[in-house]
Amino acid sequence: MTFENILFEIENNIGILSINRPDKLNALNQATLKEIGNAIDLAENSDGLKGLILTGSGEKAFVAGADISEFQGLSVEEATQLASNGQALFFRLENFKAPVIACVNGFALGGGCELAMACHLRIGTEKAKFGQPEVNLGIIPGYGGTQRLIQYIGKGRALELLMTADMIDAQTALNYGLLNHIVTNEELIPKAISIIEKIGSKGPLAIKGVIECANAFFDKEKEGFNFEARTFGNLFTSSDVIEGTTAFIEKRKAAFQGK
């Protein structure tokens, strides 16, 4: 599949997706969002995929926001649909079966911050900056920013950032819990790969279950503890549970098959 706005490759069963519009600070226009969706399709259909890494091309930005030029002249219905489509795409990342890691190498603002928050983990360089500046334009975040920012940093801090449009630097993001790690630019992708490789040595069905249960905590249609118990029980139909428990008793490394 040919892409114009992103770069995507799968190497050693790890997908790396780069937003490739550095002259636009990797702003998310509708064409780019569609291509991200196509890349997710490829990743979902890749056998043995261990995880997915998202980053931005160039040295200035992960994603500096949405393409505001596409917002002008929208009707209420069109604007609502635009936000719903973006949310649906980001839910695909949040619910992805394997770990998704955002490697933030600069500005992650507006839609870029929302994209990073839809990933399971976030690693940043010291130049990483996060913010939801939409109120400067008279609008609000539309791709899940008002909901996920509260989940990561708490309601008080989130409301302050959402209403002031202030940016926070990498160290503040780490202190708040928005970033998992701060590394040098050279270490950014290797760090993500090392985390995915470590997770990839565990039971794939169990990792998928962990992701689903963690997301269930924030799903109003699910009761998290019951969902966890059912997921725990359902895993006992898998060969991986037999292999994992047997390997533990035999004091050897488990050879999981994801079955």
Report the alpha-carbon distance of residue 149 to residue 158 in Å, rounded. Answer: 6
Catalytic residue among 59, 70, 78, 134: 134
- Asked whether the beta carbons of 214 and 225 are under 8 A apart, the reply is no
For 141, the token pair is 């975040």
Question: Measuring CA to CA, which residue among 60, 76, 64, 59 is closest to residue 32?
Answer: 64
Residue that has been written with the tokens 């969002």 in this structure: 33
Query: Is the dihedral angle over the CA atoms 36, 38, 44, 46 positive or is it negative?
Result: negative
CA 168 → CA 132, 210, 230, distances in Å? 10, 29, 39
- Asked whether the beta carbons of 160 and 185 are under 8 A apart, the reply is no
Is 114 an annotated catalytic residue?
Answer: yes
Catalytic residue among 59, 114, 197, 221: 114
For 111, the token pair is 């839609």
Question: Measuring CA to CA, which residue among 140, 228, 250, 126 is closest to residue 179?
Answer: 126
Question: Measuring CA to CA, which residue among 73, 69, 52 is closest to residue 196?
Answer: 52
Is 228 an annotated catalytic residue?
Answer: no
What DSSP assignment string belongs to 167-186? Answer: EEEHHHHHHHTS-SEE--GG
- For the annotated catalytic residues, the residue numbers are 114, 134
